[in-house]
Structure 1
């Protein structure tokens, strides 16, 4: 019998931190679990990432209420993944913003992703009975848009493909702080199962060109200060390259998915094996790298059945 996914046995609740990354800007982090951003304006609050369930979203709301009683008016999703979006109903009825590509991905593969992630991460979906259904945006954008929370301007942009095809970043210019979603991680493995390895480095360079003072990454601790920001961007680029290049070499010589798995482990284990969710991400990362190296530009849809088939092939 194939062993379970690494994340299936991870049932220990994580310690929450709520870190100020700029004036009126906060990162809700939880030891490698999905992060949420908080942007407090003159009149209202914008939340970046909803969390996986209303239960987890209420933990975010509790932290928000510790610093402000302003209403939550906007909810921005950096991409479509279930662990990011399915807690949306806990926030009331805010304006929900996604890129138009992210919305299309909800339509194309949102239910399959939900079913897949539900089996991969049972702890994150405790209380899933409260989820009313897929989360749909009320507003979408193509390249970018600006939202004004009173006088505070928030820029929401698509800078390129990386973690998914529809990734958004959120830039607060008055503090020079960026919320990057899973394009940037800190001491947490990048999940590349729906990613675009060939574009990721350029998208990271586009983020770096803003010269952020601080970044709230997708997972891992808040990055306060330019030194931490540069470290995390460089480390994320190294993780992505170290995953793709060994797999691409295996594909070039006609090797198997299992051979790509072994090659990527040999490159990545010494550098990243102690990162949060590393063992969980690795099989999906290798499968996507193997596909992309074969010229498959659009990531194949992950389903609960495909998860199991891929995992079984890697255990042989």
Structure 2
């Protein structure tokens, strides 16, 4: 079975496309599914796996953020399970359609991509239940907490905490996948200067025994999250130092040592420079 039980009634399936995780949290009312994969077709495979697992029907959906590899299966789950509520942070819900249409445009320019047609055929269904800071979902015999720890990978990141099982589903705030060499996703919508502080909040929700499920890759522990938080913190402080010394943004990548490959950090550096207040930036030296 693709789904593996990582704690009491919490199952994680890891799919080859994007090495993405879909998680089920079981309760007396049914199943909460966290993230729904990258297309309607891919979601149908997930739904088949849920049914083969045989532990209940899906009654709630959560999107950890707006990116298509976590949201494009929403419509297919509703086709299979009815108008189940879809939960997300308010920013993620607001941006889901625009983010999805942008990705469809990128796939449109890649006619040889094997997933092009299924991405293009997917109907984008954004979350319809939103919150700003935190909320709880009642699954009957257990509560699940949704927490927005701050901005990081996107502006609408959330984490899912299952207190009775000591499990935290971190979305793409934490990256383990070997497909990316565990490099966090510093995309065009990231917030590198805030990400370390958001991970401090995530860490405050964990214990030494917590199982942390990233958006991609294998489950990790608190030590892994601490190490990644510190590396992202180095990225943020290096950006702050370079800008404070007047190093131009187009020279910043070459001007310092970084904890991740330079080619992965172009957007992070550009976004970091944009987000710094004027008081922390010096005019470039001539």
TM-score, normalised by the number of residues in structure 2: 0.80
Counterpart position of 2:197: 202
- Using the alignment, how far apart are the partners of 1:30 and 1:241 within structure 2? 29
CA RMSD of superposed structures (Å)? 2.9
Alpha-carbon contact 1:83-1:117 (below 8 Å) kept? no
1:204-219 map, 5 Å: 204-212=199-207, 213-219=210-216
Counterpart position of 2:94: 104
- Using the alignment, how far apart are the partners of 2:48 and 2:23 within structure 1? 13
SS at match of 1:26: strand
Q: 75-84 or 157-166, which moves further after superposition?
A: 157-166
2:229 to 237, 253, 271: 237
Counterpart position of 1:162: 152
Counterpart position of 1:288: 271
Note if 1:127 corresponds to 2:118.
Answer: yes
Q: 62-71 or 111-120, which moves further after superposition?
A: 111-120
Q: Against the structure 1 CA distance between its residues 118 and 249, is the aligned structure 2 distance closer, same or farther, given a 3 Å change threshold? A: farther
| RCO comparison, higher one (Cα < 8 Å, 6+) | 1
* Structure 2: unaligned runs, 5 residues or longer: 279-286
Superposed CA offset, 1:246-273 (max 9, x none):
3333333333343222246x423xxx45
- Using the alignment, how far apart are the partners of 1:189 and 1:76 within structure 2? 24
Counterpart position of 1:258: 250
Q: Against the structure 1 CA distance between its residues 86 and 237, is the aligned structure 2 distance closer, same or farther, given a 3 Å change threshold? A: same
Alpha-carbon contact 1:23-1:175 (below 8 Å) kept? yes
Alpha-carbon contact 1:49-1:77 (below 8 Å) kept? yes
SS at match of 1:97: strand
* Structure 1: unaligned runs, 5 residues or longer: 1-15, 224-228, 296-316
1:247 to 239, 254, 258: 239
Note if 1:20 corresponds to 2:5.
Answer: yes
- Using the alignment, how far apart are the partners of 1:143 and 1:117 within structure 2? 33
Q: Against the structure 1 CA distance between its residues 125 and 181, is the aligned structure 2 distance closer, same or farther, given a 3 Å change threshold? A: farther
Superposed CA offset, 1:155-212 (max 9, x none):
1121222222221111112201111111112252111222222322222122222224
Q: Against the structure 1 CA distance between its residues 176 and 69, is the aligned structure 2 distance closer, same or farther, given a 3 Å change threshold? A: closer
Q: Against the structure 1 CA distance between its residues 29 and 137, is the aligned structure 2 distance closer, same or farther, given a 3 Å change threshold? A: same
Number of matched pairs: 265
Alpha-carbon contact 2:148-2:159 (below 8 Å) kept? yes
2:130 to 140, 165, 172: 140
Counterpart position of 1:8: none
Alpha-carbon contact 1:246-1:260 (below 8 Å) kept? no
Superposed CA offset, 1:50-101 (max 9, x none):
1111222233223322322511111101111122111212212321111112
Alpha-carbon contact 2:97-2:125 (below 8 Å) kept? no
Superposed CA offset, 1:276-300 (max 9, x none):
xx95x433333323323466xxxxx
Counterpart position of 2:21: 35
Q: 285-294 or 189-198, which moves further after superposition?
A: 285-294
Q: Against the structure 1 CA distance between its residues 262 and 104, is the aligned structure 2 distance closer, same or farther, given a 3 Å change threshold? A: same
- Using the alignment, how far apart are the partners of 2:217 and 2:234 within structure 1? 19
- Using the alignment, how far apart are the partners of 2:174 and 2:194 within structure 1? 13
Counterpart position of 2:32: 46
Counterpart position of 1:191: 185
